[in-house]
Amino acid sequence: MVVELTLKQRQQSRLMLMFAACSGVIMVALGAFAAHGLSHRLAPHLLDVFNVGVQYQAWHTLALLACGILSRFLPSKALSYAALFFGLGIICFSGSLYALALTSIKWFGPITPMGGICFIIGWVMLAIAAWRSA
């Protein structure tokens, strides 16, 4: 089955894939930085916080990549929203953990749950997209 995508749908899919690729690059770089550059500079609990950010960024980068690929075959608003919320979750959840670990500034902590909520909404939107595709 060939799906003809509109220009807007092609652009959205391209943006999803580009964001996923950039997130993947950043995630690998930050993971290596944590393993080689931070292991002797951060307290163990702060290094663990940083690594949780890397781990969640990795999983949700893959989810974002899946959204970009799926949008080429099953374009839907729900899929676009899933990608948006995965991206926001990466920025808020992982970003706040990176900032918290590197600066020890406590007010980054309350941002983390907002990112977690974005991740949850992203997964719900992906489920809705899958349900509607049938």
Predicted confidence (pLDDT) per residue in 39-79, tens digit: 899 999 999 999 999 999 999 999 999 999 999 998 899 99
Structural domain total, the chain: 1
Give yes or no for residue 5 having a pLDDT over 90: no
What band does 2 get if pLDDT is binned at 50, 70 and 90?
A: low
- The domain containing residue 9 runs over which residues? 1-132
Please give the structure tokens belonging to residue 118.
Answer: 């974005």
Q: In this structure, are residues 132 and 78 in contact, taking their beta carbons and an 8 Å threshold?
A: yes
Rounded Cα distance between 88 and 57, Å, is 11
Which pLDDT value is given to residue 84? 97
